[in-house]
Amino acid sequence: MKYFLLVTVFSAITVSGAAPKAPLRSLPAHYKDIVPPADVYEPPYPPDYRVALEGGATAYLVPDSTLDLVRFHVFSARPNSPARPEEVASRQLYSLLLKDGGTRKLSPSQLEDSLEFIAAGLSAGVGYWQSTASFDALSKDADALMGLLSDAVLQPRNDPAVFRLTQRQLLEGVKHRYATPAGVMGAAYERVMQGSHPANWAASEAEIGGVKPEDLRSLAGTGFTRETLVIGVAGKFDRAAMVRKLNAFVAGFPDTATAKRNPRVTAPVPPFAGPRAPGVYLVDKPFAQTTLRIALPGVRRPHPDYYRLAVASYILGDGGFTSRLVQRVRSDEGLAYGVGSDVESDYNRRGTVYVGMQTKAATGAYAIRIVREEIRRMARDGVTDAELEKAKDGLLKSLPSLFDTPAATARIFAQSEAWKRSPEHFRDYRKAIEGMTRAEVEDAFRRYFNADSLRIVAVGPKKTLLTPDEAHNGASLADFGKVTEITEAELDKRE
């Protein structure tokens, strides 16, 4: 009976004129033959949302009336370089306490209760290259949150009880910093490719334990200066009223001249030592698997080669299952579940290009050999037209995801200006990718992916990695140049 009723209803709809507009004979014989319409995505344009604020600050206001919320992001792009290694611990604790340690007006519990009562979130931190702060709240509470955020970053309380708890947590983190492959690789890779630098210094247990709450007082209000503030606001608000509130908000921040009077924030940024010589750098750890990074120096953005390298990397190993390394290392050889390449996007120093993966220690050297073979093959034979078009299509189709919500749009616009990107950045990205040629991609790949100058960073059991793999023609780490062992003590050196 149900089947009869469905058929009757469907027939009635068809007869009544709701049939498909196009005749069935116009459809392709197979779904694979369907050609989708051309889809040219035009990203939102930053100047359409930009507002110049008083004192040199800027803001991006992206309206969103779908929910009665405001999302607020602040960026202050200025280095906060410690003059001495001993300063790292106090700066880490200061950053961690910005929100959790309360403000001069509110104790930590009062601040937490206030946020919980209005279902709001607030965060803040001072990093080496930039400081950030943000909140999300109901529109009616946005004014109050702007005040709380300002107090948190300019007048932190550094509550002694919360200080001691945070200090213990930081100490525990330092004690176990090399307990995972990722923790070891992060430190080793920095030292091999960038050298020791204040940006990658880590505090010792003794230094963290020796910090007292009063040591943080001289850091109060640092990290944010008025001229460097870039704010992204998305949500339900009146534009003119928001501009007035933002001008009042930024007026409370010190200007650069005032900030420079504090000796704790005037240390210049020293140059990076750069990568070590080509070869193998091994950290001996008894992990079940070996973590590998096969790297070379890249570029500091903005740089004309960055997008060419991004396309080349997509073809080599960043394009998922269609990339060459995934096909060869994972699908053909079964050596790694995850393998891929990447081009670091760095606006503060020269980045790197690398291949990363985890594999069994016994087959680590063989996996490196295969990666090197693929790099040489791509440098020798170039890329195909199909690979180029697939890479360009994949990169272009990732662009809309940057703007999938008004909050994401406001945030990426603010961060882009903090990085000093051009207002035309996102339009230029599309044009650069669309107009890229095979010759440009192949030329960039050959100049940066030099198979004879690899820096190979390996984290795993030394004995297994140096033992020839007889199942694969005696493959060993020693096949790839001088093997230099790096100890955990060397990872902690600050020079």
Q: What b/e readout covers 419-432, taking b as 16+ CB neighbours within 10 angstroms?
A: bebeeebbeebbeb
> pTM for this structure?
0.88
Kindly tell me the burial class for residue 416, based on how many C-beta atoms sit within 10 Å of its own C-beta (0-12, 13-18, 19 or more): buried
Angstrom distance (rounded) from CA 68 to CA 137: 9
R_g over Cα of the chain: 27
What tokens appear for 436 in the block? Answer: 């890229």
Q: Give the residue-averaged pLDDT of 296-324.
A: 96
Beta carbons within 8 Å of 145's beta carbon, 6+ residues apart: 70, 72, 120, 122, 135, 137
Residue 116 has pLDDT above 60, yes or no: yes
- pLDDT digit string (tens) for 221-253? 899 999 999 999 999 999 999 999 999 999 999
Pairing of strands 279-284, 483-485: parallel
Q: Which of 428, 426, 321, 483 has its CA nearest to residue 45?
A: 426
* Band of residue 257 on the pLDDT scale cut at 50, 70, 90: confident
The single-letter code of the amino acid at 234 is A
Kindly tell me the burial class for residue 262, based on how many C-beta atoms sit within 10 Å of its own C-beta (0-12, 13-18, 19 or more): middle
pLDDT for the residue 337: 87
Question: Is residue 347 helix, strand or coil?
Answer: coil
- pLDDT digit string (tens) for 366-425? 999 999 999 999 999 999 999 999 999 999 999 999 999 999 999 999 999 999 999 999
Q: Give the residue-averaged pLDDT of 158-180.
A: 96
Question: Is residue 4 helix, strand or coil?
Answer: helix
What tokens appear for 174 in the block? Answer: 């330092």
The H or E element that residue 294 is part of is strand 289-297
Q: Could you report how far apart the first and last alpha carbons of the chain are, in Å?
A: 83
- pLDDT digit string (tens) for 333-374? 888 889 999 999 999 999 999 999 999 999 999 999 999 999
Domains of the chain listed by start with CATH number: 48-265 (3.30.830.10), 279-491 (3.30.830.10)
Q: Give the residue-averaged pLDDT of 256-260.
A: 74
The single-letter code of the amino acid at 419 is W
